[in-house]
Amino acid sequence: MSGIPPLLTDASPGLRAASGAAVRGTTVRVVSSQARPALLVSACLLGTACNHEGGHSRRATVEALAATHRLIPVCPEVCGGLSTPRPAAERRGERVVNVNGDDVTAAYARGAQAAVELAHATGARRAVLKARSPSCGSAQIYDGTFSRTLHAGEGVTAAALRAAGVEVVSEDDV
């Protein structure tokens, strides 16, 4: 929950710097949409039908962040080369397997790398990712038994982004 206030306010460091300069009268800067901080977002939360069932998880509270941020949609599983729809998958330690028993770790790793590169390319320092996904989950994920059992853990992309210094929260946090 620690990252919630910065995600919900337009008082980001960049915006504060711009408005602060104007108040002091030393420099007048127009805050354009490009001055909004970039925010990586799971594409399914913005209505893209890219989840494993071919559906989405659209959240109005996440879409509303567009008022204060440049939203950068990403679906790591699609970026990793997986089709939509696709078999459900879960993490088993460092591996990812789907419900058919196929090892799909490489695709998940490619997707995670793509998300990290996108964060770097756009300057995104924060991300709002879909909760409980084997890619995007940031606090809990399913335990690899395909029994709908959650345990503490993070998805492959959430872990890679955090390792790259990106703050990751879920739609439940905004």
Residue 41: CB minimum distance to ligand SF4, A: 8
By CB under 6 A, residue 51 contacts ligand SF4: yes
Please give the span between the terminal C-alpha atoms of the chain, in angstroms, as a whole number.
9
Q: Which stretch binds ligand SF4 (CB under 6 A): 27-35, 72-80, 144-152, 165-173?
A: 72-80
d(CA 129, CA 114): 15
Q: Which stretch binds ligand SF4 (CB under 6 A): 64-72, 75-83, 99-107, 164-172?
A: 75-83
Residue 6, classed as helix, strand or coil, is helix
Q: How many CB atoms lie within 10 A of CB 166?
A: 20
Residue 133: CB minimum distance to ligand SF4, A: 4
Among 7, 39, 40, 43, binds ligand SF4 (CB under 6 A): 43
Residue 140, classed as helix, strand or coil, is strand
Query: Could you tell me how many residues of this chain bind ligand SF4 (CB under 6 A)?
Result: 12
Among 50, 97, 112, 139, binds ligand SF4 (CB under 6 A): 50
By CB under 6 A, residue 136 contacts ligand SF4: yes
Among 12, 42, 68, 138, binds ligand SF4 (CB under 6 A): 42
Query: In terms of C-beta distances under 8 Å and separation of at least 24 residues, what long-range contacts does 88-96 make, across chains too?
Result: 88/52, 88/146, 89/52, 89/134, 90/134, 90/141, 90/142, 90/143, 90/144, 90/145, 90/146, 91/134, 91/141, 91/142, 91/144, 91/153, 91/155, 91/156, 92/144, 93/144, 96/134, 96/156
Residue 1: CB minimum distance to ligand SF4, A: 20
The tokens 């990586």 sit on which residue? 40
By CB under 6 A, residue 77 contacts ligand SF4: yes
Residue 101: CB minimum distance to ligand SF4, A: 20
Q: Whats the size of the chain, residue-wise?
A: 174
Binding site for ligand SF4 (CB under 6 A): 42-44, 50-51, 75-77, 130, 133, 135-136
